Structure 1
């Protein structure tokens, strides 16, 4: 299964989501390839830290690919792994389009702020164009860095639901320091001790939604 964590807005937490999902898959015994297709190379830096700080290493394979090489490289390497997670940058790039042409799932985090949700039209258009070459593409959007209170989360959710081609995932990730603390140590938030149970439960719910095979069907394309 090839999953792209992407979007067209920087700073929405894509690398945090991609690395956490990768480590959670590994914890369940899966062989995972993490592809860093972002020029900032955050996932690569995270993996290097994790590799250097753990006796058993990172636990997964991480490579950097950009441009059209994302498509060819992943097609060549994917059969050797149970899962591929591709972390793309926060722009409409050749790398992201190449990844969307071959992936099964496109996961887009949105922060509940105006400049993030304004990119919804661009993302919806990108999905529509990608489905011209990858008609089975499953496109999911969720709220990351959700506000603890206020109306912003609900308003962002309604905007996402209104976009054709995107399915809104009601599971959200809150604005929690645990994610930053874990990343600084080369860990998933589920590995952090003492554990932030709310953060672990949130990322666990997102993980369950993504990798529950009963959800992966053509019917899952429609918004809810």
Structure 2
């Protein structure tokens, strides 16, 4: 399974979502995860390296890739339950290559005009890539939302803009919370720092909605069934994911 977290606009929290999704799936869904960082800023690669310094954390393998990475992604897919791609905020070869093989695309947008201006181009890009990859399921998600009740209209309006282009948008959203930044700086996720917090529930909720499941247990069962179908057997936190891997291409 391949999940792309990407889009054309920077600053919308793509790396944050990719990192927190990786921990949720590895820690609570017992999935073997490879995080692919396609951003020259190395945000997710640095985060994964920071995790590697703490032996008590669930290890997340991370590799950096750029450019024409389609074949590399297909090769990695054979060894892991899920590949999570963190693609930088621009239209790039890596973004297009990822869309050509991904099962899911999570496209974060803030409820701001400058973010919403990118929807038209993303619609065009998705239409092109879905000609090659018709199984791709792409969803926008509204991120870093203001928590004040009187700002709720901005969230609704942002979702309506996405819907006018015929691209699904998740009901789940994330709000602007300091815990996201605080956990990232330590190589952690909100699942680990505040596992019962609203932020942690936001991550669980949006990933489950994207994958079309109702709960964490259902998603864990899906990965187990996938392993059995591929003949990989039951996954445990050992072997390749016991030590963080860093490769640079």
1:8 Cα deviation after fit = 0.3
**SS in structure 2 of the partner of residue 35 of structure 1:** strand
**SS in structure 2 of the partner of residue 102 of structure 1:** coil
* Contact residue 170 and residue 210 of structure 2 kept, 8 A: no
Deviations 1:146-187 (A, max 9, x none): 1123221111011011112x1110100000001001101111
Q: Distance in 2 between matches of 1:86 and 1:3?
A: 6
**SS in structure 2 of the partner of residue 148 of structure 1:** coil
Q: Which runs of 4+ in 1 moved over 6 A?
A: none
* Contact residue 172 and residue 206 of structure 1 kept, 8 A: yes
Alignment match, 1:113: 112
1:60 Cα deviation after fit = 2.3
* Contact residue 26 and residue 58 of structure 2 kept, 8 A: no
**SS in structure 2 of the partner of residue 29 of structure 1:** coil
Q: Distance in 2 between matches of 1:4 and 1:137?
A: 10
Structure whose CA Rg is larger: 2
**SS in structure 1 of the partner of residue 171 of structure 2:** coil
**SS in structure 2 of the partner of residue 209 of structure 1:** helix
Q: Distance in 2 between matches of 1:211 and 1:112?
A: 23
Where relative contact order (Cα < 8 A, 6+ residues apart) is larger, the structure is 2
Q: Distance in 1 between matches of 2:165 and 2:40?
A: 28
* Contact residue 178 and residue 196 of structure 1 kept, 8 A: no
Alignment match, 2:88: 89
**SS in structure 2 of the partner of residue 80 of structure 1:** coil
Q: How does 1:113-192 map to 2 (within 5 A)?
A: 113-149=112-148, 150=151, 151-164=153-166, 166-192=167-193
**SS in structure 1 of the partner of residue 83 of structure 2:** strand
**SS in structure 1 of the partner of residue 55 of structure 2:** coil
**SS in structure 2 of the partner of residue 145 of structure 1:** strand
* Contact residue 71 and residue 98 of structure 1 kept, 8 A: yes
* Contact residue 37 and residue 87 of structure 2 kept, 8 A: yes
Alignment match, 1:67: 67
Deviations 1:41-85 (A, max 9, x none): 111010011111x115651211001000x2111111111000110
* TM-score, reference length from structure 1: 0.90
Q: How does 1:1-20 map to 2 (within 5 A)?
A: 1-20=1-20
Q: Provide the alpha-carbon RMSD of the alignment.
A: 1.5
| Distance change (3 Å), C-alpha of 1:59 and 1:141 | same
Q: Higher mean Cα deviation, 88-97 or 155-164?
A: 155-164
**Long gaps (5+) in structure 1:** 215-224
1:212 Cα deviation after fit = 3.6
Q: Distance in 2 between matches of 1:77 and 1:201?
A: 29
Q: Distance in 2 between matches of 1:200 and 1:213?
A: 17
- Counting matched residue pairs gives 210
**Long gaps (5+) in structure 2:** 215-249
